[in-house]
């Protein structure tokens, strides 16, 4: 295994909080015998997890018309598995210090674009496939996590300057090539490893596995993979929002149709942002 990647896995992967581990293990162990009361009991004992879950459920991501005030309501509206994934994603985002300067990116703008990426998934898919939107929001919340974790290791190992110079030498294009040079893997593929490490749902793990090549995804997750791939193209960290990437995103939707996966293309085009703030500093 690549030394940099090994360092990241052994020393820099944030652990899940006890509440999240208990929730995940309870759901996995109980299977079809799971009780909503058991899920509520675990989450309610952690005020921070409860507050974050309610905040996310009441955000524009889900578009509910009235305020959600209890964990029971969230479970009734989103389902146990989605609640588990939201709690896991929220806990990870809140435990990570973010500095993406090794990528030559402004961290505040980068985070703003990450938020807009989740907004896009929500607004686009809520209009045609609300269930898919609810499934993918935790994925979208963490889609750039690999870049954040890579940056942390690069800074700690004092290789951030070399990494940025390698990106610049490549005109900040095809960043996966430079990531593979330093880590042996790109940030999207590493996210799939992280999802498996933290025991996210298999559906989410496989969705991320096929983001780069959604045409190869099994039929059961093909629409998930294409949807996340479309978002990935539109919000690519350096070139997202430009005409080329927008056209590529629409082409992916048409490719999906040829594979038996239908998206409402006029609806997609309607929700593609006109431009993305450039995070490249």
For 69, 81, 84, 115, 134, the CA distances from 74, given in Å and listed in that order, are: 8, 11, 11, 21, 12
What pLDDT is stored for residue 10 in this prediction?
77
Average pLDDT value for residue range 34-52: 94
Q: pLDDT tier at 13 (50, 70, 90 boundaries)?
A: confident
CA 134 to chain centre: 12
Domain assignment present for residue 268? The answer is yes
What are 232's two structure tokens? 């990935």
With a cut of 90, say whether residue 42 has pLDDT above it.
yes
Do 134 and 224 contact (CB within 8 A), yes or no?
Answer: no
What total number of domains does the chain contain? 1
* pLDDT tens readout for residues 73-91: 999 999 999 999 999 999 9
**10 Å Cβ neighbour count for 165?**
12
With a cut of 60, say whether residue 27 has pLDDT above it.
yes
What pLDDT is stored for residue 210 in this prediction?
97
The DSSP code for 10 is I
Q: pLDDT tier at 204 (50, 70, 90 boundaries)?
A: very high
Classify residue 81 by burial, with Cβ atoms within 10 Å: 0-12, 13-18, 19+.
Answer: middle
What pLDDT is stored for residue 280 in this prediction?
54
* pLDDT tens readout for residues 205-236: 999 999 999 999 999 999 999 999 999 999 99
The proportion of the chain whose per-residue pLDDT surpasses 70, expressed as a percent, equals 97
Domain assignment present for residue 28? The answer is yes
* pLDDT tens readout for residues 144-166: 999 999 999 999 999 999 999 99
Start-to-end CA distance of the chain, whole Å, equals 32
| CATH number for the domain that contains residue 178 | 1.10.3210.10
Cα–Cα–Cα angle for 155, 280, 214, rounded to 5 degrees? 90
Q: In sequence order, what E strands does the chain have?
A: none
Domain assignment present for residue 14? The answer is no
Helix (H, G, I), strand (E, B), or coil: what is residue 95? coil
Domain assignment present for residue 266? The answer is yes
With a cut of 80, say whether residue 274 has pLDDT above it.
no
Q: How far apart are CA 115 and CA 249, in angstroms?
A: 19
With a cut of 60, say whether residue 49 has pLDDT above it.
yes
Do 109 and 56 contact (CB within 8 A), yes or no?
Answer: no
Q: What is the dihedral of CA 147, 130, 272, 61, to 10 degrees?
A: -60
The DSSP code for 63 is -
Domain assignment present for residue 5? The answer is yes
Domain assignment present for residue 131? The answer is yes
What pLDDT is stored for residue 269 in this prediction?
94
Domain assignment present for residue 206? The answer is yes
* pLDDT tens readout for residues 253-262: 999 999 999 9
- What pTM was computed for the model? 0.89
Q: pLDDT tier at 96 (50, 70, 90 boundaries)?
A: confident
Do 92 and 20 contact (CB within 8 A), yes or no?
Answer: no
The proportion of the chain whose per-residue pLDDT surpasses 90, expressed as a percent, equals 78
Domain that holds residue 86: 1-9+19-280
User: What mean pLDDT value characterizes the chain?
Assistant: 91
The DSSP code for 17 is P
Q: pLDDT tier at 279 (50, 70, 90 boundaries)?
A: low
């Amino acid at each position: 295994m690549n030394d940099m990647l090994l360092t990241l896995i052994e020393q820099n992967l944030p652990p899940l909080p006890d509440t999240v581990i208990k929730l995940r293990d309870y759901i996995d162990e109980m299977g079809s015998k799971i009780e909503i009361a058991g899920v509520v009991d675990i989450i309610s004992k952690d005020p921070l997890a409860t507050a974050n879950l309610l905040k996310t459920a009441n955000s524009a991501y889900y578009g509910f018309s009235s305020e959600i005030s209890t964990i029971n309501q969230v479970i009734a509206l989103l389902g146990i598995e989605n609640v588990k994934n939201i709690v896991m994603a929220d806990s990870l985002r809140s435990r990570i210090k973010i500095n993406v300067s090794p990528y030559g990116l402004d961290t505040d703008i980068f985070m703003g674009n990450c938020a807009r990426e989740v907004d896009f998934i929500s607004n686009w898919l809520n209009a045609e496939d609300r269930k898919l939107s609810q499934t993918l929001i935790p994925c979208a919340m963490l889609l750039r996590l690999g870049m954040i974790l890579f940056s942390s290791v690069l800074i700690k190992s004092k290789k951030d300057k070399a990494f940025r110079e390698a990106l610049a030498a490549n005109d900040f294009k095809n960043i996966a090539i430079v990531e593979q040079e330093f880590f042996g893997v790109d940030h999207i593929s590493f996210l799939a490893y992280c999802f498996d490490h933290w025991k996210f749902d298999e559906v989410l793990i496989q969705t991320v596995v096929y983001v780069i090549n959604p045409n190869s995804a099994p039929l059961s997750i093909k629409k998930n993979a294409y949807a996340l791939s479309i978002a990935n193209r539109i919000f690519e960290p350096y070139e997202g929002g430009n005409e080329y990437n927008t056209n590529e995103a629409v082409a992916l939707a048409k490719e999906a149709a040829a594979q038996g996966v239908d998206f409402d293309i006029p609806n997609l085009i309607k929700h593609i942002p006109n431009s993305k703030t450039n995070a490249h500093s």
